Chain A
Amino acid sequence: ETGVTQSPTHLIKTRGQQVTLRCSSQSGHNTVSWYQQALGQGPQFIFQYYREEENGRGNFPPRFSGLQFPNYSSELNVNALELDDSALYLCATINRSYTFGSGTRLTVV
């Protein structure tokens, strides 16, 4: 176990819907980042939060948004889901290095 917990592990949504994914860390690190991993590819950076503020963003549209809470847990929200949003979504906490959770497998139908 990595100490980074993501929920849910799997979910299925319909195109156009909204989804919220969650991430928490046992050790409560103040920096968290989110990645999208399409099948057969390496993870791609979505954004990073430090002390509840976004401090870095990859090439993802504004319908991908996030939150970080005072206890350093985090959410990833995706609006107006598209079929291409189907992927494994990973969060990582950052201390000495990047520690990933097991991810949420999102399927958009």
Chain B
Amino acid sequence: GESVGLHLPTLSVQEGDNSIINCAYSNSASDYFIWYKQESGKGPQFIIDIRSNMDKRQGQRVTVLLNKTVKHLSLQIAATQPGDSAVYFCAENAGNMLTFGGGTRLMVKP
């Protein structure tokens, strides 16, 4: 399949370790944030979202943290698995559109 994110920042972690992927957003008016996972040849897959009235939200093995003061978003993946290897994008929503960050490639070493 095709490659997504040939020149993206890369985070390499050992299987079983926790991963933290960071993202800075630009629009202080954004009220909704989403993390997506994208594998080669596929569209972005929803992982977790958070609204601006929250600072933390947990899902299954994933946690999103939102710091509105510094406009920073992070995705924490617990017990990272080989299947988590992909490119991860944060996206902010203000109005009728999503604005995506540049993406981070996560590589999980067995």
Contact = CB atoms under 8 A, between A and B. Distances in A.
Residues of B contacting A: mostly: loop
Interface string B46-63: 100100000000000000
A4 B43 CA distance: 10
Interface in A27-65: 33, 35, 39-45, 48, 55-56, 58
Given A40-B8, A56-B96, A102 B42 contact: yes
B97 A43 contact: no
A28 B49 CA distance: 22
Most buried by B among A40, A90, A99: A40
Contacts, number: 65
Given A42-B103, A90-B43, A92-B98, 8 more contacts: A6-B43, A39-B2, A39-B3, A44-B100, A56-B97, A100-B44, A100-B45, A102-B43
27 contacts: A2-B43, A2-B45, A33-B97, A35-B98, A39-B2, A39-B3, A40-B5, A42-B89, A42-B102, A42-B103, A43-B89, A43-B98, A45-B97, A45-B98, A48-B96, A55-B96, A56-B95, A56-B96, A88-B2, A90-B43, A97-B46, A98-B34, A100-B43, A100-B44, A100-B45, A101-B43, A102-B42
